[in-house]
Amino acid sequence: MLGSPGAARIIGSKRECGNTNRQRKIAPFRHRGRARRGGRVTGIRPLVAGNWKMNGLGSSLAELASLRNRLEAAPVPETDIMVCPPATLLSRAREIVDGSSIMIGAQDCHPLPSGAHTGDISAEMLADAGATAVIVGHSERRTDHGESDTLVQAKALAAYRAGLMAIVCIGETEAHYRDGKTLDILRTQLEGSVPEGARATNTVIAYEPVWAIGSGLTPTPQEVAQVHGLIRTVLGQMLGDAEAGGTRILYGGSVKPSNAAELLFVPEVNGALVGGASLKAVDFYEILSVYAGTRS
């Protein structure tokens, strides 16, 4: 059950906060017969994407080169790996990973292909710079820039238009979580942000509880499983079971080496959207290595 942030554990440490009476029962959801191994849904290739946010200068690309070297020395099989640097580094990042298993993504795009929009970057420009995907609807964009579900959907459509994969972010605030509104908020965001043309091949959903980002707090694995199951159920209602069943649902919210093993093998979790821990190659590789069954 989802309660207040006071009930959330700090996974990977010995600290655990007390329970809360502010909890809400979640309607049961059905898993659609996909086999699981060690908590991981088989048949869906996981994606681990690193979001550098507004961090990184040219010198920071040494970390990307280091990540490439680590992956070439000890590959992580059957896992898609992506790094999303600032737009200023896209072209140079693409050159560094050329010929490797690392994909380059972007952090945002304008919904229109061109025009008088000073400071904005179109999805077509991102594709031209070497991106293969773009994050849309991140909570920091929704909060800092007042982006609505309607705008997020328009940006996802722009990604499709440019041949990019859209990583659509959804997530509840601390107030929503405390008041037991998590599931209602996520349903509304999914229905408003995910276009009708969404397919498993062009869309990834990233669940990022806003109250967990940068706070060190994470939901319990049971909460994550419940929320991801609800997301897949809603996607099934929107897109049909076949597309929903193949759509990757990432967890994002204070993912780090100390909690990755516990979070990435939760049922219905198909990878992660990693923030600060993706800035250092050693940390990001340790998260990735969870899927290889080894630790660096």
CA distance 80 to 99: 14
H and E: helices and strands count for the chain: 11, 10
Strands 40-41 and 47-51: unpaired
Which candidate in 208, 223, 268, 286 is catalytic? 208
């499709």: which residue's tokens? Answer: 160
2, 224 Cβ separation under 8 angstroms: no
> 286: closest CA among 155, 147, 294?
294
- Among this protein's residues, is 138 annotated catalytic? yes
Tens digit of each residue's pLDDT, the chain (296 residues) = 455 454 454 344 433 333 333 333 333 233 333 434 434 445 799 999 999 999 999 999 999 999 999 999 999 999 999 999 999 999 999 999 999 999 999 999 999 999 999 999 999 999 999 999 999 999 999 999 999 999 999 999 999 999 999 999 999 999 999 899 999 999 999 999 999 999 999 999 999 999 888 777 778 999 999 999 999 999 999 999 999 999 999 999 889 999 999 999 999 999 999 999 999 999 999 999 999 874 44
- Among this protein's residues, is 208 annotated catalytic? yes
For the chain, which domains are there? Answer: 64-114+132-292 (3.20.20.70)
User: End-to-end distance of the chain based on CA atoms, in angstroms?
Assistant: 34
Which candidate in 110, 138, 176, 228 is catalytic? 138
